[in-house]
A and B are shown apart, each in its own frame.
Chain A
Amino acid sequence: MEAPIIQAKNVDVFYGEKQALSQVNLDVFEKQVTSLIGPSGCGKSTFLRCINRMNDLIPICRFEGDLEIDGQNIYHPAVNVVALRAQVGMVFQKPNPFPKSIKENVAYGLKIHGLTNSKSSLDDRIEWSLKAAGLWGEVSDRLDEPGLSLSGGQQQRLCIARAIAVKPRVILMDEPCSALDPIATAVIEDLINEISKEFTIIIVTHSMAQAARVSKRTAFFHLGELIEVGRTKDIFTNPSNEKTQNYITGRIG
């Protein structure tokens, strides 16, 4: 098997005195979807937010251990968070487009990182991103309208377009469908399948059906510990741990 792109080694995370993650060891492989499941408060979102260091924003949050992307420890003092986040994009639980036009939403990452050098290449990249996010057909004639005028599902796809516009290596998704209806959810799930050909995706989800549908590998977290990780098929049909068994059959969580 190929080498993992992300390797977590003995990761501990504390919020003040409270330990949120203990001794997590997890490998994530390139260009496939890995889903993180588990009951609320199990630490799956915390782990996700460690990968692009969004937890740095919480003053009381403390990280210990090793988290490597491409063999580089991203918590090394020499690592620039801005450069890290340009490579590790994120899609949030609630769609949060900027209160600006659709175009400006997608263009923002490109502009701040200086990734395009002409107006036409910027427009090309915006079109590419919106097409990749399956939104181009719906918004191509109204790029200057505010992003907030779109429906919830469209907004979430706009956020995905915004994240992939800068072509990151990894995209983190924190329950991206929890605020959407089943039809919009289905659209996003198809989209995740589609873009996983080009990006490494880690998705946190509460829906086991969703994890089963979209991901190749699944990791089950419980009370801050990584209980089990493996191929999604194996986890859902033949879990090796009793806790996983209980969770996926609905006895805990």
Chain B
Amino acid sequence: MNNTINFSKSTSFNLPKRGQSEFRFQIIGIGAILLSLAFLIWLIITVIFGSMGAFKHVEIAIQVDLTSKNVNADDVNSTSFGSIMKSGLREQFPDVKKRKDKKKLYKLISVESSLELKEKVLDNKDLLGQKVKIWVSASDDVSLYVRGKIDASLPEDQRKITDKEISWINNLGANGQIRTKVNWGFFKNGDSREPEIAGILAALVGSTLSLLVCFILSFPIGVSAAIFLEQFAPRNRLSDIIEVNINNLAAVPSIVFGLLGLSIFLGYFDLPRSSPLVGGMVLSLMTLPTIIIASRASLQAVPPSIKEAALALGATPVQAVFHHVFPVALPGMMTGTIVGMARALGDTAPLLMIGMVAFIVDIPKSILEPATALPVQVFLWADSPERAFNEKTSAAIIVLLIFLIVMNLSAVLLRRKLEQRF
């Protein structure tokens, strides 16, 4: 009998079939990864391309008459800068006579441009008494057309901008009276009804303040609760009930926490409506279960021998936990916190209930002032009829994503720094 084994013979031991199933599994795995990567890249590219326009700002130069005929130097505030702008436009296009056409002409520049002019004058009083060329924001439709987002070859009734307006814009362009700049205003302004001056800052500040409140409340409370439940609480029916309920709370839809915040924080404690304080408190209600569960898991992962060693040396239970168990578990706790905070950053539903979905123009200066949040801003802009808000929506999404990345990155760096201590 020949007992030699042929190791290269691949039909023995059912090898072909086993090889196939192994290959199948690998293909499915790689396919799943590639597919999800493709969707992610698609999403990012769409958002980035969609948002490009929001970072560009189109301005129109108008010759304005700031002589004493129009402006009283002692009382600038009572001046009607709007009519100065309008007369400037009329002088540039003297052949526009009809009332309807004039209205169209005035709409070349932003509604807010009179305010811009006023601010410029207040900043620089030397402008008074002269006829000067002033750059002001173009209206959203002009901005879209200048940046090539409106197709002039379409029939007139199918586009937002008429042939007449196009001829005016071309005229201005030919005179060098139109320029495109980086839209710093997007990062400096609050929300506005006019897309050309609407900015993200109010929402960014609102989100930052809310998350700060959320972190300050939920991290210490969540971690202390986890440490107590895991290390000190006696195991009995009550602690079992608490454990089950915390796990259930993690699965509660966030709008329910919003309702809770509405009735308790606003209804009972009468805290300021729409404020980052209340927003942060509601978000921390939502984050707490996540933090507690993750913290308990990371405490459980600490080998009990470390705690025993400390206790055997004569450390009190609190010393054993805080000197030895807690530092080892801290990185895991932070991961849980970041997961919870990231969810809080992206959530609108609870904020809806406490009034952070309001249209808020002013940048909040404290946690008590009305504010809105980044995801809410995305939602509000996506809902607006003006076409120019489309690109603002994408831009706001990018800001939201960058915020998230910065938050996660700082957590990773902090983790690494803490871990090196061991």
Contacts and interface: CB of A to CB of B under 8 A. Distances in A.
A134 interface: no
Interface string B209-239: 0000000000000000000000000110000
A94 interface: yes
Contacts of A146: 422
Interface string B297-324: 0000001011011111111100100011
Contact of B235 (A59, A85, A89, A163): A59
Given A109-B314, A112-B314, A92 B309 contact: yes
A146 B303 CA distance: 17
A85 B308 CA distance: 12
Given A99-B328, A100-B422, A112-B319, A92 B311 contact: no
B230 to A, nearest CB: 14
Given A85-B313, A108-B313, A146-B422, 5 more contacts: A57-B308, A92-B305, A98-B324, A99-B306, A109-B313
Nearest to B234: A59
- Chain A interface size, under 10 / 10 to 19 / 20 to 34 / 35 or more: 20 to 34
Interface of A: 52, 54, 57, 59, 82-86, 89-90, 92, 94, 96-100, 108-109, 112-113, 146, 148, 159, 162-163, 166
Contacts of A148: 422
B314 A96 contact: no
Q: Give the 10 A-B CB pairs with smallest separation, nearest first.
A: A90-B312, A96-B305, A86-B314, A85-B314, A99-B422, A109-B313, A96-B309, A82-B314, A112-B315, A98-B324
Contacts of B315: 82, 108, 112
A60 to B, nearest CB: 10
Interface string B408-420: 0000000000000
B325 to A, nearest CB: 10
Nearest to A97: B309
A116 B328 CA distance: 27
A54 B162 CA distance: 88
Contacts of A84: 314
Nearest to B305: A96
Given A82-B316, A146-B422, A108 B310 contact: yes
Q: Which of A54, A97, A100 has the most chain B CB within a 10 Å cutoff?
A: A100
Interface residues of B, number: 21
Contacts of B319: 112
A159 B313 CA distance: 10
A166 B313 contact: yes
Contacts of A166: 313-314
A163 B313 contact: yes
A148 B306 CA distance: 12
Nearest to B316: A82
Contacts of B328: 99
17 contacts: A57-B308, A82-B314, A83-B314, A84-B314, A85-B312, A85-B314, A86-B314, A92-B312, A96-B306, A98-B309, A99-B306, A99-B422, A100-B422, A108-B323, A112-B315, A112-B323, A148-B422
A227 B72 CA distance: 112
B225 to A, nearest CB: 21
Q: Which of B235, B303, B309 has the most chain A CB within a 10 Å cutoff?
A: B309
Contacts of A109: 313-314
B332 to A, nearest CB: 14
Given A59-B234, A59-B235, A112-B319, A94 B305 contact: yes
A82 B314 CA distance: 5
A250 B235 CA distance: 42
B310 A89 contact: no
Contacts of A59: 234-235
A159 B328 CA distance: 19
B249 to A, nearest CB: 27
B323 A92 contact: no
Contact of B309 (A52, A57, A82, A159): A159
Given A92-B308, A96-B303, A112-B319, A162 B314 contact: no
Given A94-B305, A99-B306, A146-B422, A89 B312 contact: yes
Contacts of A112: 313-315, 319, 323
B145 to A, nearest CB: 65
Nearest to A172: B312
Contacts of B324: 98-99
Contacts of A100: 421-422
A112 B313 CA distance: 9
Contacts of A98: 306, 309-310, 324
B312 A52 contact: yes
B302 to A, nearest CB: 9
A54 B234 contact: no
B308 A96 contact: yes
A86 B328 CA distance: 24
Nearest to B422: A99
B312 A54 contact: yes
A148 B324 CA distance: 14
Given A100-B422, A112-B319, A57 B314 contact: no
A174 B421 CA distance: 30
Q: Which of A84, A108, A163 has the most chain B CB within a 10 Å cutoff?
A: A108
Contacts of A108: 310, 313, 315, 323
